[in-house]
Structure 1
Amino acid sequence: MNQGFSSGFLFRAKDSSLRRLSLSSSDPLKLSCEKMEAIDLNDDGQNDVMDEDIEDHEVIEISEANRGTPPRQARSGRRVSKLWLKFTIIGGKRSDGTTKIRCNFCKRFYFIKLRRNGTSTLSRHLKVCPKAVGTPRSSPRKVDMMVFREMIAMAIIEHDLPYKFVEYKRIRMAFTYANSSIEYWSRNTAASDVLKIYEREKDKLRKILNDLPGRVCLTTDLWRAITIEGYLCLTAHYVDDDWNLQAKILSFLAFPPPHTGIAIAMKLVELLKEWGLEKKVFCLTVDNASSNDSMQSILKRQLHKDLVCGGEFFHVRCSAHILNLIVQDGLAVIVGALKKIRETVKFIKASESREMMFQSCVETVRVEDSEDQKGGLVLDVSTRWNSTFLMLSRAVKFKQALGHLADAEASYVSFPSYSEWRRAEMLSELLKPFSEITDLISGSSYPTSNLYFNEIWMIECWLKAHANSSDQVICEMVKCMKLKFDKYWEEYSDILAIAAVLDPRLKFEILEYCFSVLDQSTCKRRLANVRSKIYRLFGAYKRNQRISSAATTSQGETHDVPAGYGGFYAFFSQKAVGSGKSTLDIYLDEPLLDYAAHKKLNVLHYWRDNSARFKELATMAREVLSIPITTVASESSFSIGSRVLNKYRSCLLPTNVQALVCTRNWLKGFPAMGDESGEKTEEEKEEEDNEKEKGEASGESTDLTVESGEKA
C-alpha cells in the first residue's frame, strides 16, 4: 500500500454518504481513520487484503509477524497488518470459505471470509476487547463526574493528599488518558467535595449515636499544631448494635486560648448539645493536666441531672498518663546514667561515618538480635517513658559494641561507667512489666475495661516486691514511684474493680485474691467498698429500666409470649420478684466461667447473648465495659492532624482540618499504634533524604517519630 491514495478508492464519511475522491500520492492531506473508512473497490485478486483502518505506520514486514499467523504465505518482503500480532489463525480455510481466527487477548473466535471482508471485523473487535492493553476504544465510556469527584475526595481524605492534588499536571494528564471526557476541577471544588462527605458522614454518625440504647463515654485532649493554633479533640466511645466497641472522633476543632477549665467545659457542653448527647454521657476520661480537674468539675455540674448516680463515676483519669508520671518519678533518680546513654545515641546518630564505625564494632563483638530486642539504637522522647525504656534496653544490648567504640574513637566521651551500666541493666529488667502493661493500655484497638484491674494490680505488686532492693539507688527509685502510685490508685480503682466484676471469669473472686495479696488487713474493707458501689450503680440502672418498661406498657406493647404461655410467664415473673434476688445477685451467685476454657472470651458478646436474661445488668455492663481507661484514642488523632496540617500544608482552614481528620476516622477508624504513627508524607520523606545526602545530623532516631506538633 502506498502512503498516498489512488483514484480507485471510495470513502464513506460518518454521515454514510458516498463520495469519490481523486488524490495524488504527493497530496499532503491525511485522512484520519477516526473520521472515515477506506473501501477497496478493485478486488482483482492481485492485492493483499489489508485492514482499511490501519495506517501506514501500523504495518510490518511479514517476517516480523511471528506472534500471530498471517492470512496466507506471502513472498519475502511483503507487508501485512500489525493486526496479525494480536490474532492467530486456527487451521486452514474451511469448506464454506471462512477461516477460524482467535484473539490473543480474550481468546474469542471469529469465522471470517478474509477475501471478502478483510480484517475490519478484527479491527473493530480490538476497539472493544476487554483484555487488550492500550487499544483505543471506538467511543470512551461515559464518566459520571459526581461519582468520580467523590472517589477522588475519598482518596484525599484517606491518603493525606493535598487539595491541589486535582490540579497537578501529571494527574490531569492521567485522567485525560484514562478518559478524555473527564472535566477538570479546582482545589476549592475538591475542598467542597470533602466537606460534603464530612456532612453526610456526620449525619450518619449522629443518627447512630442518637439511636443507641445506652450511653457514651468520652475522652478529650488539647493539641497545638505546627501553626501554633490550638485544637481540641472530643472522642466518643460506645458499644454498637452488634455489641462491638467503637471509638469515633466527634470534633477536632480550632480552640484558641484561654485553655482554662471553664473555657474547655463550656466548649464541651456546646459540642455535646450539637451532637444531641448531653443526656447520654456516662463518663469522661482526661489526663492529669491541672485545667482538667476544674473542667470536669464544671462539666459535672452542668450535666448533673442526667448523669448516672449524680456523676459519681463521671471522672476517669487516664491510666497511661498515671503510669507515665509514676515511671518518670523513678527515672529522675537515675538521671545521670540516662543522660550518658542519651548522649551516646546522639553521638552515633550525628553522622553517617560514626554509624558505620559503630556498625563495625557491632560486627566485631557479634551482637545478635533476640526475639524481643530487634533493631539498632534509638533516641527517646523525654516525655514518653516507654520510649526511654526502649532506648535503655537497646543500649544495654549493645554495651560491648559501645565499649569497642569508646576504645576506637577518642571523641566519644559519654560512655557510662560500670556502676551506671549495672543500674541501666537492672532498670531495663525492672521496667519491662511496665512496658508490657503500657502496650496493652496504649493500643488504639484497646480491650474492654475489665482487663485493666489485674494489670494495675501487677504494677502494685511489682513496686512492693522491689521496695527493699539491695541497690540504694533502685530502692530510692521504687519509693518515688510508690508515692505517686498511692496518690492516684484510690481515685480510679473503684471503676476498674467494677469492670473486673462484670467479667464472668473473674467476678468478686479476682478482687478478693488481689486485695488479700497486697494487704490482708484491708482486704475486707476494700471488698465491701466495691460491693456497695456496684450495687448503687446497679440500682440506678434498675430504676431507669422500670421507667422505660412503664413507658413501653403505656404504649400498648407487650412481651412476645407464645400462645398459651401467658399465665405461666406471669407466674414465673411473680416468683422471680418474690425471691428477692436481683439480676445482679443471680449473676454473682452463678459459678465462674473456667478461664482456661474461655481464655479468648469476648465479654461484650457474653452480655449480648445473656441480655434477655440479665436485662438492666446487661445494660450496665454494656456501658461500664466501654469506659476508655486512657486518652490514647484522642491522642492518636493528633498524629493524623500532624500529617494533615504539616509545614507543607499549614494554610488549611480549621474547618477543612476538622473535615479531613473526622471523616478519615469515621471511614477508617483509628490507626494501629506503630502503624501509621510513623508514616511520613512524600514532602517529609524527600526532605529527610536530602538531609541524609548532605550529612546533616538529625539528632534523633529514625526508629521513633515525633509528631509535628505537641500537646497543649
Structure 2
Amino acid sequence: MCIVRHGLPFNFVEYKWVRELLSYINFDVTHVSRNTLVSSFLKLYGEMKEKLKYAIHKSHFVDNNWKLNSKILAFCKLEPPHTGEDLANKVFEVLTEWEIDRKIFSITLDNASANDRMQELLGEQLRLQNSLLCDGEFLHVRCCAHVLNLIVQDGLKVAEVVLQKTRDSIKYVRASESRKIVFTECIAQVRGIDTKVGLRLDVPTRWNSTYIMLESALRYRRAFASFTIRDRKYKCCPSNEEWKRAEKLCEFFKPFYKMTNLISGTSYPTSNEYFMQVWKIEWLLRETLKCDDPVLQNMAVLMMEKFGKYWSDYNVILSIAMILDPQMKLEALRFYYSKLDASTCDEKINNIKEKMYKLFDEYVSVKSSSSTASSSQQPTVEEDFSIEENQEMDDPYNEYINYVSQNVNVNGKSELDLYLAETLLEPKFFPKLDILSYWRDRQECYPNLCKLACEVLSIPITNVASESTFSIGARVLNKYRASLLPSNVQALILTQNWINGFEDIDEINGDVEKEEEVVLDFTVHDSNV
C-alpha cells in the first residue's frame, strides 16, 4: 500500500537500509523480492477492480450516499496513429471490459478532430446495441474549459503586440542574475509596489496563465519604466498607451478567468452550474460589442464567432440540468434567455422543455422495461413467483400498467409535471443548497426523476480530471522507472486513484442491483488513452 500511495519503485523492498530498518522494527520479518511484491500488488489491483466493477453496477458518480464521485477506469497504452477509429475501438474495448457498454449516458471530450470522429463511431456502435437514450442525442458533451480556452485565445490575437512586449519584458529581466538585481533596485526606487506577487511568465496555450502574467506585469509597470533608464539595451517595454490597453484587457478577461478557475478546479461542480457560466460568457461578449473601444469590439467579434460555433444553443442536456435545480427550473431559463434576446426566448424554452420530456419519457420507459425483464428473467426461490405471475409480467398490457404506475399519478400527471409545478425554493437557500441531497430526500415522491437527476447532474462539464491523470502518469513513468510495463503503469495509477475515497464503496449494501447510466470523461494524450 505504501508503494502505491507514495509512488515508490517496486524494488524499494530490496533496498539494503529499508530491509535493515524493517528487521530492526521486527526481527521476525520475512523480506520479499521485487517479483513477489509485484505479484501481490497485481492481486490487490484485481480484487479492487472487481470491487469497483460491482460498485458501478450499483451506482456510479452519484453513490448510494448521494455523493458525487469520480473513478479512473483505464489508463492504457495506445500506439499511434491516434485516429478516431483507433480511439473508438479502444474506448469500446474498455467499456466492454467494465461491462458498462450498455449503460453509457454521455461522454465529455475536448475538440480534437480525432475525438469528434471517435464519438461518432462509438455512438454508431452503441446505437447498434440499442443502448443510448434518445438515439444518442445527448451523448456528446464538449469540454467547457477547452472551449473557453479556444474562445479567449481568439480574442487575445487582437492584443498580440502588448502581450508579446509584456512576455519579452519578463523574459529579459529574468534572463540573468545581474538584470534581476537591477530590477529589484528599480522596484525599491519607485516604491509602493507589492512584491508578494512576483512576475509570472505565461504558457501561451493556456490563456489563464496569460491573464496572470498580464496582471502581475501591471503591478511592476513603474519598475519596468525605471529599468528602461538603467538598461539601455532593454527595448521591449510597453508604452503608456499599451499599459492602459493591458489594464482594459485585464478588466475584460477577469470574469473569464474566474469562470476558468470554477470549471477547472479540483472540486468539480454538478452540471446544473454549467448553464450560468455559459450565459455569463454570452452576456459579457454582447455587452462588449456595444462598447466604444474598437480593440475590445474587435476582440468580442472574434470571440462571439467562436462562441457561436460551439455554444450557440448551449448544450441542451446541461440546460436540462439547470431545470433540475429546484431554485432555477424553467423560470430561470426564461429569465436569462429573455435578457439576451426576448424575441427568441419562448422558442428556446419550448425546445428545451420538449427535449426534457422526451428524455424523461424514454428514460422511464427503458428503465421500466429493463426492470420488468430483470424480474421475469431472474426469479429466485425467495421471490416466490408463481408461473402465472411470471406470465403476467411477460404480458405487454401488464408491462404498460407497470410503466403508467411508475410514471403517472392518479391525476394523470407525470413526476416531471409535478416537479415543474412545484414552487421554486426560496432564494435564502441559495447558494448553500446541496442539490444531490435535495433529490435524495425526494426519492419516494419522484423515484424515476430522481434517478434521471443523478445521471444528468453527474455529467462532467470538463475533462480537466482526465488531463490531471496524465500528470500523475508522468510521475509514475519517469526516467527512473522507464521500463515499467504498460499494464503495471495502469495498475499503479488506477489502484492509487481507487484507494483514495474507496471506503464509500464498502458501504454499498442491498441485494437488488440498481442499474444506472454511466457518464464518461475522456481525453487522449501522447500514447495513452
Q: TM-score, normalized by length of structure 2?
A: 0.86
User: Secondary structure of 2:428's match?
Assistant: coil
Q: Distance in 2 between matches of 1:272 and 1:157?
A: 25
Q: How has the CA–CA distance of structure 1 residues 669 and 253 changed in structure 2, closer, same or farther, with 3 Å as cutoff? A: farther
Q: Please say if residues 158 and 299 of structure 2, whose CA atoms lie closer than 8 Å, have aligned partners that are also in contact.
A: yes
Supply the distance in 2 between the matched residues of 1:169 and 1:335 (Cα, whole angstroms): 57
- Read off the aligned partner of 2:171 and give its amino acid letter: K
Aligned residue number for residue 517 of structure 1: 339
- The answer on 1:626 being equivalent to 2:451 is no
| Residues 340-349 or 587-596, more deviating | 340-349
Distance 1:328 1:576 in 2: 49
Match of 2:477 in 1: 645
Residue 367 of structure 1: CA displacement? 4.1
The partner residue of 2:142 within 301, 317, 337 is 317
For 1:665 and 1:361, the matched residues in 2 are separated by 48
Whichever residue aligns with residue 356 of structure 1, its letter is I
2:91 matched to 1:268?
Answer: yes
- Letter paired with 1:343: D
**SS in structure 2 at match of 1:466:** helix
In the alignment, which residue of structure 2 is the partner of 1:239? 62
Shift in CA distance, 446/267, structure 1 to aligned 2, threshold 3 Å:
same
Alpha-carbon displacement from aligned partner over 1:523-568 (angstroms, at most 9, x marks no partner): 111111101010000111221343256458766699xxxxxxxxxx
1:349-379 per-position Cα deviation (integer Å, ceiling 9, x unaligned) = 2233333332333233334549xxx521111
- SS of the residue corresponding to residue 252 of structure 1 reads coil
Residues 337 and 641 (structure 1), Cα distance of their counterparts in 2 relative to 1, 3 Å cut: same
Q: Are the equivalent residues in 1 in contact too, given 2:88–2:118 (CA < 8 A)?
A: yes
What is the aligned counterpart of 1:381 among 198, 203, 216?
203
Supply the AA of the counterpart residue of 1:335.
E
> Does residue 1:181 correspond to 2:28, yes or no?
yes
- Specify which structure has the higher proportion of helix: 2
Gaps of 5+ in 1: 1-153, 217-237, 559-569, 671-707
Aligned letter for 1:644?
A: V
1:361 aligns with 2:186: yes
Q: Describe how 1:389-428 pairs up with structure 2 within 5 A.
A: 389-428=211-250
Asked if structure 2 preserves the Cα contact closer than 8 Å seen for 1:403 and 1:415, the reply is: yes
Amino acid at match of 1:616: N
Change (3 A) 1:557 1:404: farther
Residue 287 (structure 2) pairs with residue 455 (structure 1): no
- The answer on whether the counterparts of 1:166 and 1:187 sit within 8 Å (CA) in structure 2 is yes
Equivalent in the alignment of 1:440: 262
CA gap of 1:401–1:164, structure 2 versus 1, over 3 A, is farther
Report what 1:547 is aligned to: 369
Change (3 A) 1:331 1:711: farther
Inter-CA distance 165–350: structure 2 relative to 1 (3 Å threshold): farther
How far apart, CA to CA, are the structure 2 residues paired with 1:299 and 1:161? 37
Kept in 1, the 8 Å contact 2:155–2:300? The answer is yes
Task: Find out whether 1:295 has 2:142 as its counterpart.
Answer: no
SS in 1 for 2:108: strand
Superposition pairs for residues 454-473 of structure 1, below 5 Å? 454-473=276-295
- Does residue 1:251 correspond to 2:83, yes or no? no
Residue type at the aligned position of 2:364:
K
Of the structure 1 ranges 414-423 and 599-608, higher mean CA displacement relative to structure 2 is found in: 414-423
**Count of residue pairs brought into register by the alignment:** 483
Is the Cα contact below 8 Å between 2:83 and 2:114 reproduced in 1? yes
Q: Is the 8 A contact 2:80 2:527 kept in 1?
A: no
Q: Which has the larger radius of gyration?
A: 1
Contact conserved, 2:123 with 2:139, CA < 8 A, in 1? yes
Moved more, 352-361 or 623-632: 352-361
Residue 429, structure 1, aligned to residue 251, structure 2: yes
Name the CA distance, whole Å, in 1 between partners of 2:203 and 2:291.
28
Q: What residue identity is the alignment partner of 1:391?
A: M
Q: Distance in 2 between matches of 1:182 and 1:363?
A: 61
**Alpha-carbon separation, structure 2, partners of 1:647 and 1:331:** 37
Q: Find the counterpart in structure 2 of residue 145 from structure 1.
A: none
What amino acid is the match of 1:327? V
SS of the residue aligned with 1:283?
strand
Q: Which position in structure 2 is the counterpart of 1:207? A: 54
CA distance in 2, matches of 1:646, 1:491: 44
CA–CA distance in 2 between the matches of 1:655 and 1:491?
42
Q: Aligned partners of 1:614, 1:489: CA distance in 2, in Å?
A: 31
Distance 1:200 1:350, change over 3 A: farther
Q: Does the residue aligned with 1:249 lie in a helix, a strand or coil?
A: coil
Cross-structure match for 1:350: 175
For the residue of structure 1 that corresponds to 2:305, the secondary structure is helix
- Three-state SS of the structure 2 residue aligned to 1:509 is helix
Q: In 1, are the aligned partners of 2:275 and 2:314 still within 8 Å (CA)?
A: no
Match of 1:497 among 315, 319, 323: 319
- Please, what is the CA RMSD of the aligned residues? 2.5
Kept after mapping to 2: 8 A contact 1:157/1:660: yes
Aligned match of 1:599: 431
1:562-711 aligned within 5 A: 577-668=409-500
Question: Partner residue of 1:162?
Answer: 9
Distance (Å, rounded) in 1 between the aligned partners of 2:173 and 2:26: 53
1:437-461 per-position Cα deviation (integer Å, ceiling 9, x unaligned): 1111111320100011011101110
Q: Contact 1:248/1:669 (CA < 8 Å) preserved in 2?
A: no
Change (3 A) 1:188 1:399: farther
Q: CA 1:399–1:616 in 2, change beyond 3 Å: closer, same or farther?
A: same
Partners of 1:204 and 1:175 lie apart in 2 by 31
Larger RCO (CA under 8 A, 6+ residues apart):
2
Partners in 2 of 1:383 and 1:575 — Cα distance? 49
CA distance in 1, matches of 2:218, 2:415: 54
The C-alpha deviation readout for 1:157-192, integer Å capped at 9, x for no partner, is 111222232233332332232223333333333333
Contact 1:317 1:492 in 2 (8 A): no
What SS class does the counterpart of residue 81 from structure 2 fall into?
coil
2:105 and 2:132 in contact (8 A); partners too: yes
* Counterpart amino acid of residue 649 in structure 1: R
1:576 shift after superposition: 6.3
- Counterpart secondary structure, 2:105: strand
Q: Which position in structure 2 is the counterpart of 1:335?
A: 160
Secondary structure in structure 2 of the residue aligned to 1:313: coil
Letter in 1 for 2:86: A
In the TM superposition, residue 578 of structure 1 has moved relative to its aligned partner by: 4.1
Q: How far, CA to CA, are the matches of 1:433 and 1:652 in structure 2? A: 44
Contact 2:76/2:528, CA 8 A, preserved across alignment: no
Equivalent position amino acid for 1:241 in 2: N
Whichever residue aligns with residue 314 of structure 1, its letter is: L
CA distance in structure 2 between the partners assigned to 1:557 and 1:619 by the alignment: 28
Query: What letter matches 2:46 in structure 1?
Result: E
User: Which consecutive residues of structure 2, in runs of 5 or more, have no partner in the other structure?
Assistant: 386-401, 503-524
Q: In structure 1, what residue type is equivalent to 2:22? A: F
CA distance in 1, matches of 2:373, 2:384: 9
Partner of 1:279, secondary structure, is coil
Q: Secondary structure at the match of 2:72?
A: strand
Counterpart code for 1:615: P
Shift, 1:594, TM fit: 1.2
What TM-score do the two structures reach when normalised by structure 1? Answer: 0.65
